[in-house]
Chain A
Amino acid sequence: MTRRTRLILAGICSVLIAPAVVVVILHIPAFGHHPLPYGDAINRGTVARRHVTNMVTAVNFDYRAFDTLGEELMLVAAVTGTLVLLRGRRGENVSDRPARAPDRPVCERSEAVTLACRIFLPLIVAFGIYVVLHAQLTPGGGFQGGAIIASGTLLLYLGESYRLWRRLVRSLLFDMLEAAGAIVLVLCGLGPMVRGHAFLENVLPLGQSGALLCGGLILVENAGVALAVTAGFILLLLEFLEETRAAREDEKS
């Protein structure tokens, strides 16, 4: 589209939605003072009803778990699409041998970088696991923890070498983990139905409030999301890093 068509289209659209914008601006609630009926209802009763102390987790994995299932499948779909687009060029029979970058000099890593990465990699991964495991008690959850763990593994690439990172990050393994995460969440929905309950109904024993094991099905769903997000982000990193390199001759499709 030329610059002119785009501007004309934008002008028409803004004229069309202008009345709606005016109505919304006139009815905007005062910041910080308006009633929050749903939030208050959840804040007041959830600790007693679900035995978890993090309300955001309760909303994500219990009250609106159906919504999270949709989000998770969206995530899996987006990751799958990216993999199909990028891996398509590398060929169908993906091996775990790293692609080469022949015209790029291999610099020796300085010892300080290697040491810092070796210290921080286990710390970051442990922190990510902590964030995942304490989702039901304190701020955290599968989404955040998964992103932390996946990004932390990049320190291997920074501190050691691309070859080592690729040797540890097997794409077939993470393909399966990604799918396993989605399957866990779907089974969490179908499982209660076998016993005659509603889809995604929290039927597991709730445990003691404030303990690590509390919230019943919330724990399982959280673990599933953590799996899918970790595997998905690692696969994205792998494919984009692989994209910057030349494929080996015998691996082209």
Chain B
Amino acid sequence: MSYLPWAIAAWLFGVGVYGVITSRHYVHLIGCLTVIQSATYVALLSIGYRFGSVAPIFYSRPTSTPAVDPVLQALVLTDIVVGATVTALLLALTLQVHKKRGTVNPERLRPFRQ
């Protein structure tokens, strides 16, 4: 049971990497990158978790209450929002590739030749 979070993180990472390797469509590839990113969220939040703890918000309880690690939660929080904008950037790049080359299959793309 105590290895379940690590196993989920590893599984998400593995599935994502497999998708990136075998991808035949850039939009699918970006989706796989997002899956890999979620693996890091699961791993980070699992590191910060502790049994019998509450969320690190002390608005209505004393500071002596055991709470989970806020540092890792802050890392995941900023990561999610920045990840969303980076995904948007990648999708915009995909649109450009489609316009310039007519395909979004990485297997069919060749480097430009002079």
Considering only residues 128-184 of chain A, those with a C-beta below 8 Å from chain B are: 137-139, 141, 143-144, 146-147
Contact B67 A55 (CB under 8 A): yes
Tell me whether B56 and A33 are in contact (CB under 8 A). Answer: no
Q: Contact at A86–B107, with CB atoms within 8 Å?
A: no
- Judge if B104 is at the interface, Cβ distance under 8 Å: no
B92 touches A138 (CB 8 A): no
- Measured as residues with beta carbon below 8 angstroms from the partner, the interface class of chain A is 35 or more
What chain B residues lie within 8 Å of A204 (beta carbons)?
A: none
Q: Is the CB of B85 within 8 A of A78?
A: yes
**Do A210 and B57 touch (CB < 8 A)?**
no
A74 & B5 in contact (Cβ 8 Å cutoff): no
Contact B88 A3 (CB under 8 A): no
- Given contacts A3-B22, A55-B67, A64-B71, is CB(A143)–CB(B77) below 8 Å? yes
Give chain B residues whose Cβ lies under 8 Å from the Cβ of A215.
none
Identify the closest chain B residue to A236 (Cβ).
B88
Query: For A229, what are the chain B residues with a Cβ–Cβ distance below 8 Å?
Result: 81
Q: Are B85 and A1 in contact (CB under 8 A)?
A: no
Q: What CA separation (Å) do A6 and B32 show in the bound complex?
A: 16
A234 CA to B105 CA, complexed, in Å: 29
Nearest CB in chain B to that of A2: its residue: B107
| Residue among B5, B57, B106 with most chain A CB within 10 A | B57
Could you tell me the dominant secondary structure of chain B's interface residues? helix
Question: Which of these, A68, A138, A139, A232, contacts B85 with CB under 8 Å?
Answer: A232
- Are the CB atoms of B59 and A210 closer together than 8 Å? yes
Cα A31 to Cα B82 in complex, Å, equals 27
Please determine whether B2 and A32 come into contact, CB atoms closer than 8 angstroms: yes
The reply to whether the CB of B33 lies closer than 8 angstroms to some CB of chain A is no
Q: A85–B96 contact, CB under 8 A?
A: yes
Say yes or no for B114: interface residue by CB 8 A criterion.
no
Q: Which of B56, B69, B88 contacts A240 (CB 8 A)?
A: B88
Q: Which of B19-70 contact A (CB under 8 A)?
A: 21-22, 46-51, 55-59, 63-64, 67-70
Judged by a CB distance under 8 angstroms, whether A54 is at the interface is yes
**Which A residues lie within 8 Å of B56 (CB)?**
39, 42-43, 54-56
B86 at the interface (CB under 8 A from A): yes
List, sorted by A's number, 11 A–B pairs whose CB atoms are closer than 8 Å: A2-B107, A6-B21, A33-B2, A33-B50, A33-B51, A39-B70, A39-B72, A58-B70, A74-B85, A137-B59, A233-B85
The 5 closest A-B pairs by CB, nearest first: A39-B69, A55-B70, A55-B56, A59-B74, A78-B85
